[in-house]
Every structure is written in structure tokens, then in C-alpha cells.
Structure 1
Amino acid sequence: MPKSKRNRPVTLSKTRKKGREHKEAIVNSIKQALEDYSSAYVFTFENMRNLKLKEFREQLKSSSRFFLGSNKVMQVSLGRSVADEAKPGIHKLSKFLRGDAGLFFTNLEKEEVQRLFEEFEEHDFARTGCMATEKVELKEGPLEQFSHEMEPFLRKQGLPVRLNKGVIELVSDYVVCEEGQPLSPESARTLRLLGIKMATFRLQLVCRWSPDDFEAYREGLDLSDVESS
């Protein structure tokens, strides 16, 4: 009997796409931040951890504001050239909003901003696809840190294990990951079980703008197109 076309699954968890109104709100917020704060920075990030960033934002909310999202929307907010820039010279920041980047507006002195960003980091367990920072190898023998109930789970992660008198043991040496190689889902889960953290969430300043100055922080940045514009 053919299936009824009326019996179609309906997803109740669909979310409304962020449209033009949302983008316009971001543009307006960034333009307002240009009025409220004395300087603006572009920063990049790696191994993003939302909870840690939220804590950092909360710490600085009285003096600063962060923006993360579409680089194109942030570029439009600042202006991409002298002709459409929101403030004199601010379009220079747009050229560095690439990849995993954000904007930071603040009234803090630049020395204080540099100190805060240099000290900010969070060590955490690496996720699937992250590059291993070291080789991790388990030697043949008992894995006494795990209870016997873990044996089926460890086996699913690819570990050559067996139960011997209620103790999990490796029947041969096993390489969990190789340095410089991306982590598989199984490797990431195993490292978490072993308590080995390979990811560090960092924020790195790229450049700074103020009404009187533009400054690049990272060595090797190509400033030729910025200085000529």
C-alpha cells in the first residue's frame, strides 16, 4: 500500500533565520559603540569556548563591549573604505576582519587591554578535528584508572582491551593520537577519559584604532594596502 503524502514528519524545533532586521541591529549597535568607546580593536580567536568568553565579557562589561558574528556585517558597520567609513580611519580595521575574528570596543588604556588579552586563556579538552599537540601512547598492560564497566566503551573507541579478573587491560600498545594530526572522534573521547587537555582558548589582538592612531600588534601583517587607503 503506498504511503500517504499527508503523513510527513514535521520538525517542531525549526528556528527562524536571522534576516535583514538582525543585521541592521548589529550595524546600529556597532555604530553606537563607536560613539560610546574611545578605541576599537580587531582580535582573533582559536578553540572558542563560549562560557569562558561570556565570563570575560562580564568582567569587562562596565568599560568595554565585544562583537562576534559575520565579518561582512561588521565590515559594513565600520565601512570598507574612506568613502563609507563611520569614523576617520576606522575602515582600516575592516581589512583585518577575516576568519575567526571579532571587534572589541573599550575605554580602557591600551596597556591594560594588552595585559588582559595576554593573560586570557583557558585550557580544555580538544574536540574532533583539532590538531594533537603531542603523541599519546598507552602501553600494554592494566588500565587501572578505569572501572570494569568501561570495557565496552573503550572497545568502541578502538582500544584493544579485555577484562582480566575484573581489571581492564590493553592486550597491546595503542597510539591514541599522533602529534600534528587531526583528532578523530574516538581519539578526542579517549583523551577526555584520560584527562589530557590539548586545546587552549586564546584571544589575540590584531590591531587597534583610536581617533588619533592606528596600530598593528601582530608581526608580519601586510599594512601596505591599509596605509595606502
Structure 2
Amino acid sequence: MFSVRLDQPTHDALGILAKRSSLNASSFVRQIINNYLAKHATKVAKELIRNEVHKHDLNQFVTIPFVQASDPEAAYRRLSGKAEHAITPAKPFALFERDRPTGERLVKAYFSAMRRKFGSDGNLPALGVYETIKKNGIDATFLHYHCLLAIPEPEEGRFVEATSDFWTKIGNRHFGTPIICKVERANSKEAVAGYALKNVNDDYPIDSIIMVGFDRVLG
């Protein structure tokens, strides 16, 4: 846990500006930081993620594709009609970049469910990074998430089953068909960092990172 202490004029000015922007102080500070990151190649998001990867045993890779397939890129091609012999599913679904609030809410719900099942002292380090793809002639930016969770090794089998059960129910409830996730075990910290950072640019906004269970409070 850490805190940031501001001198009184800065604190009061921040409160006034936040009120004018109709945001709470935390959201306003995040907006200021993201605006700064958008203008300067600071690599702050990369460093933030890398630090957490090396401090915690984030040993499970989970890809959550908000499309009807376990392979996001294959699904993107199919849904956009770019794939040979493409078969459009009876009930196709996809979330787009504009749907990030929905995707983030569902990923946070997933992290909470896993914390209740596998957390230690009610806590479970977990990190999620969203990604959209626009390549190979595909114009649509379909949304999916790369997630890392710290699951005790004896619980890995039960974790895979719990992940499948959770996203099957969520998919059936919200989209009429299961969400099929890909779960892999991490072999090294370097592999974990590479996985988490594959779509994180130097100016990646920090509010695009879902971080829970790290006991880091800004106050």
C-alpha cells in the first residue's frame, strides 16, 4: 500500500477541476495521466505491468475472446467473411472496441469469481489487458482480453474447469452461446511479461489495464 500526499493548494485545485469535469478526483487524475501518456512515449503502462508480473506468481494465461470461437483471429476472419469456407455460426456474437465497458465489467466479474474460489486470504492477483485486432484485411476491431492470474499449482485443474464454467454461463446468459476461453500455464516470468505486453504500446492508457488483488491503494 502507498499514498500520495499533495500540498493544500494542489489538493484544492484538483478538487475544483474534478468537480468542473463531473468526475471524481481519482477519475480526473487518471484522465490527466492518460492524456500525458497519449502525448509522450513514457512506457509507464509497460513498466507497471512488468513490475507486477515480476512481483507475483501470475502463472495462468487466459484469453477471453468475445466472439464465438476459441481462436479470436480465426473468428474475426469468419465473422468478417474473410476466411475460406467460412461458416457463419447460427448465433454469432462479437464485442467491439466501443463495447469495452461491457467487456471490462465481465472480466472484473470473472476475476471476482476466481478470487472467491482460489484466493488466499480473500485476495487473488489478476491482471487483464484488452486488445483489438485490425489486420490481415479485416476492418472490424473485435474485442478480446489477455489475462494473467496467480493460481496455486495444485488448483490448476480446478481453475481450468471453473474458468470454462464461468464463461460458458456468461456467454449463454448474454450472447446465447458459450464463450470458449483459452487457458495456458506460464513457463517463465519472461513468457508472462511477453504475453501481457504484446499489445501494450509506449503510450498505452493505464485505464486500459484491469489490475485487482495487488493491495495497491492510491490515497
For normalisation by structure 1, the TM-score amounts to: 0.21
| Higher alpha-carbon Rg | 1
Greater helix share, structure number: 2
Greater strand share, structure number: 1
